[in-house]
Amino acid sequence: DQAEREAAAVRWFNEAAEDTFVDTIGCSAAQAKIITGLRPFDDAEDAEARLKSTKGVTGKLFTDYVEIVSSFETVDKVLRKCEARSKRLEDACSPEAIAKDPYYLHKQPKGMDVTLKDYQLEGVNWLSARYRNETSCILADDMGTGKTCQVIAMLCDLKNRGIKGVNLVVAPSSTIENWSRELKRFGPELNYLVFAGSQSERRDIRDEIDEDHDDLDVVLTSYNNATSKTDAKWFRKFRFNACIFDEGHQLKNQNTNNYRVLMQVRAEWRLLLTGTPLQNNLLELISLLNFIMPGDFRGASEALTTIFKTKAGAKDSELSKSRVDRAKRMMMPFVLRRLKDKVLSLPAKNILVEYCDMTPNQAKIYSKILARTQLELLGQDEDPATKKKKDTASNILMRLRKGAIHPLLFRTIYTDKKIAALVKDYVKEPEHMDDNMQHLREDFGINSDCELSRLAYNYPHTRKHQLDKQAWMNSGKILKLKELITDIKARGEKLVIFSQFEMALYLLISCLEVMGFSWIAFSGSTKVEERQSVIDDFQTNPDITCFLLTTKAGGVGVNLTAANWVIMLDQDFNPQNDKQAEDRCWRIGQEKEVNVIKLISRGTIDEDILALGQRKLELAARVSGMESGSGGT
C-alpha cells in the first residue's frame, strides 16, 4: 500500500548513492549532493517537507520516487503475466511435446519452392507455436537471414492445414515489389493480391475482396495505403487472420498516427518483422510489445513509461540493471532473434573508425559555427539575421554536422558581389532572360557554395563562376576519401558511400568528378521502380567503383554485395540505421571480407554522435542478448 511505498522511499533516500539519484529520479548531480547532505530523513512527511524547504531541491523529487516504486509494482504484475506465458510456451515446445505435436514441421511445408535452412525451419516452428498459442510476436532475426522466407513458409503451412482467412502483409513502399517477387518465388501456391494504385483502383480492390475472398491467402500493401484516410476505415473493418508488419520498428513510437491507426486493424494474430527491435531506448521495445499483445499490457501504460523512459546513455546503476533485466524477461516469450554471423557462413566484417583532421579553412569555419552556436545558446547572439529567428536545436545540430563534413555546405565563397555577377550572366540564358534579377539574387543568396557552383555548371554563360578544383578538396573527410578510394580501386574492389544527407551526396558527386572516380547513385527521392536498374548496373559493371546513397534509402530492400567496402561519411543518431545500411554489403552472396569505415572529423560533433551511438548499441545488446545471438523459447 501507499504507506509501505513511502517507507521504502525513505529507506532509499537515506541509503542511495549520489549517482543513483541522478539515474533514478533524473535530478542533477548538484541536487543529489544536497539530498545526501540532508540525511537522515525520519519519515515520508519529514523527507518531503525538508526537500521542499531547501533551496535547489523540491519535495517533488520524493513523490517522483514513490511513483517509481508504485510503477515497478504494476510492471511486475505485467512481468508475471509474461513469465506465465513463457512457461506455457516452453512446455509446448519441450522435446516431449514436440514428439506428440502433429503440427511440428520436421521438413519444410508443402508448396514452398525453396529449401529452408535449419535455423529457418526452427524459426517457422517458433512462429507456428506462437500462432497456435494465441501469442503475437516479433521475429527479430538479423538482416539478411531470410525473415521474409520464414514468414512465407508459415503462410504455406497455414494453408496446408486448411486454416481459412486472409493474411495481411504491411511493408514499406520500397519493399512491396520485393515481397511480391518473393511470394511468387517461394510460395507459388499462395494466392495473393497487391493493394496499391490510384484511389479509384484501390476502391475497386476493396470491393473485389469484400465480394469474394474465399481463395485469397494474402493481401500485400504499404504503410501509406494501410493508414491513408481513404483506406484505413476498410482495413479497420475487415477481419484478418494474421497481420504481418515488415520493418516493424516503424511502430516503435506509440504516440504516432501510424501506430494508433494500425493498432485498430483487427486480426487473430500479429507478427512484427524487424532486424532492430531496440534502436534508441527501452520504451521503444515496450511500444512494440504493447502493439502485438495489448491485452497483456492493458492498464500499465503509465507505469511502463515511468520505468522504461530512461535514455540509452544512462549509467549502469542498480536501477538501470533492474530495468534491463525486466525488459529481457518481458520480451522472452515474444521475441526471437538470431544474429547472422551465428547462423550463416559469412566472411568477416571489420568496423574501423578513421579520424580525419579538418583542413585549416574547414577548422576555421567550424570554429565560427561553434562560437555562434554557443552565443545563441547563451542568448547573446548579436547577429541581426539570427536574432530575427532563433534556430531550433535541430538546426543548430545540422549546422555543426555540415561543418564536420565540408565547408562548401555553407555559403562562404560566393559573396553577395559574386552572386550579383552570377545572376547577371544567368539571365543571358534564353530561358531565364525574363527572370527578375532582384528575386534571383535573393533566391541564390540562401544556397550553399556547393549548390551555387553546381548551378553555374549547368549553363554556358555561367560556367566561369564554377568553383575551382581546390575548393572541392578543402575537407579532411574528402582528402581521406581520396586516399581510401585510390587504394580500393587499385585492389580491383568496389565501395559504397553512405551519407544522411542528399545535399552531401551532390557534394560527393562533384568531389568524385574532380578526383576522376566513376560513380553511380540514388537517394530517397529516386523512384522505387528506378532503383533496381541502378543497383544492377553497379553490381555488374566493373567500370563503376563508387555507389553513393543516403543511409535511409539504402536501409531497406537493397543488395550491394558487389562492394566489400562501406564508407560512412557521417553517422546517424540512431546507430541501427547505419548498421542496416552497412549490412547491405554484408549478406548472403558476399564472398569477401567487408570493411566498414566511419569517417569522424576530429574535435567535432562527429565524436559525440559516435559515442552516443555506441551506448545505444550496448543497451540493445544487453536487452536482446545480441552478443550471444539468443532468442526466445
Domain boundaries defined on the chain: 2-73, 103-343, 349-357+473-602, 391-470
Its CATH class, for the domain covering 2-73, is mainly alpha
Q: Which residues pair with 218 in a beta bridge?
A: 167, 192
| Opening angle at CA 551, ends 547 and 553, nearest 5 | 80
Residue 374, C-alpha cell as written in the block: 554557443
Percent of the chain with pLDDT over 90: 38
**Torsion angles phi and psi, residue 493, rounded to 5:** -110, 170
Identify the band that residue 627 occupies on the pLDDT scale cut at 50, 70 and 90: very low
103-343 and 349-357+473-602 share one CATH topology? yes
User: What's the count of helices (H) and strands (E) in the chain, helices before strands?
Assistant: 30, 13
- Residue of 78, 75, 182, 91 whose CA lies nearest to 132: 91
Please, is 455 exposed, middle or buried when counting C-beta atoms within 10 Å of its C-beta (0-12, 13-18, 19+)? middle
Residue 594: pLDDT above 60? yes
Q: Does domain 349-357+473-602 have CATH number 3.40.190.10?
A: no
Identify the band that residue 327 occupies on the pLDDT scale cut at 50, 70 and 90: confident
Instruction: Compute, in degrees rounded to 10, the torsion defined by CA atoms 113, 119, 123, 128.
Output: 70
**Contacts made by residues 311-318, CB under 8 angstroms, sequence distance 24+:** 311/281, 312/280, 312/281, 312/612, 312/615, 312/616, 312/619, 313/612, 313/615, 313/616, 314/23, 315/19, 315/22, 315/23, 317/19, 317/20, 317/23, 317/24, 318/20
| Reported pTM | 0.71
For residue 153, the Cα-to-chain-centroid distance in whole angstroms is: 27
Give dist(CA 180, CA 193) in Å, integer: 9
Q: What are the DSSP calls for 280-323, one per residue?
A: S-HHHHHHHHHHH-HHHHTT-HHHHHHHH---TT----HHHHHH
Residue 605: pLDDT above 90? yes
Q: What are the DSSP calls for 362-385, one per residue?
A: HHHHHHHHHHHHHHHHHT----HH
Mean pLDDT of 59-64: 87
Residue 602: pLDDT above 90? yes
Given phi > 0 = left and psi -120 to 50 = alpha, else beta, which region is 631? beta
Identify the band that residue 281 occupies on the pLDDT scale cut at 50, 70 and 90: low
Residue 384: pLDDT above 80? no
Residue 121: pLDDT above 80? yes
Taking the domain 103-343, which CATH number applies? 3.40.50.10810
Predicted pLDDT of residue 277:
66
Count the Cβ atoms, other than its own, within 10 Å of residue 594.
Answer: 21
More confident residue, 616 or 306: 616
Residue 389: pLDDT above 60? no
The residue type found at 79 is: L
Tell me if 31 sits within 8 A of 57, measured CB to CB.
Answer: yes
Give dist(CA 101, CA 401) in Å, integer: 57
Identify the band that residue 280 occupies on the pLDDT scale cut at 50, 70 and 90: low
